[in-house]
């Protein structure tokens, strides 16, 4: 009963004309930022942070939150269409999404990503509203041993994701670990493997690596082929909407991805990226049905599962921020900055001292997810026209 009362307060705040406008602006900006590789919500929110000083606190946080979860929607678009992840959490979507586009099934892939994201976002927000305090306590029981186990699970998942030579997969994992060591040690403050290059003291950005591996590889591959022989997707687009069989295949993947993303989103450092990789690993381990497309060749579960997971993870990553004042990732750290600008102390007191902000932000996430599905689904046809551009 308290939940319904609190949500009624939240929707009363979120449905004001001003907050609806800022929710729409945030969702639209987030979608566009997700589509543009290399920018990301962290840089965008950091640039917009000073501008929020003149806004009311609720409107400012609603807009910044919309940018964050809107970017999760938009990141899948270029990942599917041009093999270039717009957002780090969409890296794994490239594997099957782009192959679906090559087979003329970009429409179903984009629709699966959008619908899965919408469902997962709504469920993640419901979990945020109903279970924030107990889930935060659970997250705080994770100690060094649990985090080490989680990292080992991630490395095992990377091996499972690999196809072909196991030796090559392990070599690339070790190479990735070596790249991850570059930067400043968080405990000692000592720069590791920066070679006196100031730009390396902050580490090597994941987006830069993803663009190099996926995006520039595709560009170089195209440049190596004569222009009249380059692959252009023109006449083989087979529809803009998933078939009944697609819905049947992707529904369990969406449910699994949502559950996994909702769980991992509350963990510091986990969030959308870890959720997406974990979801794809699980989907790949599930036995293929008769006649189902193998993973890596355009399986719709390889799109729906990770996209659902990263959106659920993005929503539940607000739980440690709003209930304990502890940011689980870089975006949430910027949200702490936004709250501080408006003289709001993040933590459990927000729920009691400023319920309009707490529940208004949660209610705006449902509204934002509805806005995003309305924005993204009608644009599927427009995005697919990009495939006809040589």
The 10s digit of each residue's pLDDT in 355-383 is 888 888 888 988 988 888 888 777 777 77
Give the model's pLDDT for residue 38.
66
In the predicted model, is pLDDT for residue 229 greater than 60? no
**Percent of the chain scoring above 90 in pLDDT:** 7
Question: Which tokens hold the place of 47?
Answer: 């640039």
**Percent of the chain scoring above 70 in pLDDT:** 82
Question: Which tokens hold the place of 37?
Answer: 């590789």
In the predicted model, is pLDDT for residue 105 greater than 50? yes
- From the number of C-beta atoms within 10 Å of its C-beta (0-12, 13-18, 19+), residue 376 rates as buried
Query: Which residues does residue 191 pair with via DSSP β-bridges, in sequence order?
Result: 184
Question: Rounded to whole angstroms, how far apart are CA atoms 199 and 188?
Answer: 19
Mean of the per-residue pLDDT values of the chain: 79
Give the model's pLDDT for residue 244.
87
Give the model's pLDDT for residue 22.
92
Of the listed ranges 178-182, 279-283, 351-355, 356-360, the least confidently predicted one is 351-355
Integer angstrom CA distances of residue 29 from 24, 203, 287:
8, 27, 39
């Amino acid at each position: 009963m308290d939940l319904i009362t609190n949500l009624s307060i939240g929707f009363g705040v979120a449905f004001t004309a001003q907050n609806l406008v800022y929710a729409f602006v945030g969702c639209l900006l987030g979608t566009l930022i997700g589509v543009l590789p290399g920018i990301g919500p962290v840089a965008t929110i950091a640039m917009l942070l000073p501008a929020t000083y003149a806004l009311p606190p609720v409107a400012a946080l609603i807009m910044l939150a919309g940018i964050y979860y809107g970017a999760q929607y938009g990141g899948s678009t270029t990942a599917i269409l041009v093999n270039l992840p717009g957002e780090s959490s969409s890296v794994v979507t490239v594997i099957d999404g782009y192959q679906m586009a090559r087979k003329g099934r970009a429409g179903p892939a984009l629709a699966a990503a959008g619908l899965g994201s919408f469902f997962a976002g709504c469920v993640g927000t419901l979990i945020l509203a109903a279970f924030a305090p107990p889930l935060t306590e659970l997250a705080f029981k994770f100690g060094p041993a649990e985090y080490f186990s989680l990292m080992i699970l991630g490395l095992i998942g990377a091996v499972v994701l690999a196809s072909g030579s196991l030796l090559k997969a392990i070599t690339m994992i070790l190479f990735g670990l070596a790249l991850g060591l570059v930067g400043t040690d968080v405990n000692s403050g000592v720069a590791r493997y920066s070679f006196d290059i100031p730009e390396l003291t902050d580490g090597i950005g994941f987006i830069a690596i993803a663009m190099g591996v996926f995006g520039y590889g595709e560009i170089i591959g195209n440049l190596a082929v004569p222009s009249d022989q380059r692959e252009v997707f023109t006449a083989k687009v087979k529809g803009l909407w998933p078939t009944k069989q697609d819905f049947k295949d992707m529904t369990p993947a969406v449910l699994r991805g949502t559950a996994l993303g909702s769980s991992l989103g509350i963990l510091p450092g986990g969030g959308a990226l870890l959720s997406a990789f974990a979801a794809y690993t699980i989907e790949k381990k599930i036995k293929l049905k008769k006649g189902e497309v193998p993973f890596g060749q355009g399986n719709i579960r390889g799109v729906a599962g990770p996209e659902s997971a990263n959106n659920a993870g993005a929503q539940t990553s607000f739980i440690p921020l709003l209930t304990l004042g502890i940011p689980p990732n870089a975006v949430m750290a910027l949200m702490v900055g936004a709250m501080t600008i408006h003289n709001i102390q993040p933590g459990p007191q927000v729920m009691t001292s400023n319920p309009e902000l707490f529940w208004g932000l949660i209610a705006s996430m449902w509204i934002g997810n509805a806005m995003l599905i309305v924005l993204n689904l009608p644009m599927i046809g427009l995005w697919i026209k990009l495939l006809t551009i040589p």
